[in-house]
Amino acid sequence: MSVTDTAVPGRHATVPFVRAAVPADHQAIRDVVIAAYRQYADLIPPDVFSSYLSDLLDLDTHARHGRLLVVEADDRVCAFAAFYPDGSTQGFPPGWVSGRALAVHPDARGNGAARALFAAGEQLALEAGAPVLAFHTHSYMTDAITLYERLGYRRAPEYDLDVAAHFGGPGAAPIMALAYLRYVTQKYITLGRTR
C-alpha cells in the first residue's frame, strides 16, 4: 500500500481508502475531529478539553511536523490522522514515527477507517525506516484501546504524558495520555493488513 501525495479525484467508495489530505479537506477534517472528540468533553475539565481540542484541530502544526492523511468512504472524508516522522515531537524517541489526532466520525465507526489509517501509518514508518509506530490515547477511549490492542499495539507506560500539565497549566490535576506502540517490520505488514 502506498500513500500518494496528491488528492484522489472523487470516486464512489463504500470501502474506506486512505489518501493524503489537501487544503480543501481541512474543514471536513475539523468536522470529523470535533464529532469524534465531542463525546469526551465532559470527562476532563473544560479548560483542558478546550486547549486539547484546539491542539488536535491545529492542522498547520500537524502539517509542519508530518503528513496529514484522510480516509474517504462514500465520497466523504470520514477519518483523519497525522503521522509525524520524528516521534520526539510527541515525547517518543527520535527515529520513531508517531500518530497524532486520530479521529473517526461516529457515523463511520466500524467500517475499517481506523484500521486503514493504522496500516497507512505503519507503511509510512516502514518507508521512513522507523522501527516503531507510537501514539497516545486516553483511558476513557475504551473502544479505541480495544481496537489498538487487537491490532497488536501494546502499552508503553514509560512514554505516558500528562496532558493536563501541558494544556491546563500548573496545578491542574493529572490527566495521563497513555502511550501505545507497535514494532513495525515488513514481515508483519502485507497489503495494509496486520499479521
pLDDT digits (tens, 9 = 90+) for 19-76: 999 999 999 999 999 999 999 999 999 999 999 999 999 999 999 999 999 999 989 9
Say how far apart CA 77 and CA 113 lie, in whole Å.
Answer: 10
Confidence of residue 191 (pLDDT cuts 50, 70, 90): very low
- pLDDT value, residue 186: 57
Confidence of residue 4 (pLDDT cuts 50, 70, 90): very low
Cell matching residue 8? 484522489
Half-sphere exposure (Cβ direction) of 190: Cα atoms closer than 13 Å: 3
Is the pLDDT assigned to residue 8 strictly greater than 70?
A: no
- pLDDT value, residue 185: 78
Say how far apart CA 122 and CA 151 lie, in whole Å.
Answer: 11
H or E element that contains 29 = helix 26-37
- pLDDT value, residue 189: 47
| Summary mean pLDDT of the chain | 88
Confidence of residue 12 (pLDDT cuts 50, 70, 90): very low
Residue % of the chain over a pLDDT of 70: 88
- pLDDT value, residue 7: 41
> Which DSSP string corresponds to 139-179?
TT-HHHHHHHHHTT-EE-GGG-EEHHHHHT-TTPPP-EEEE
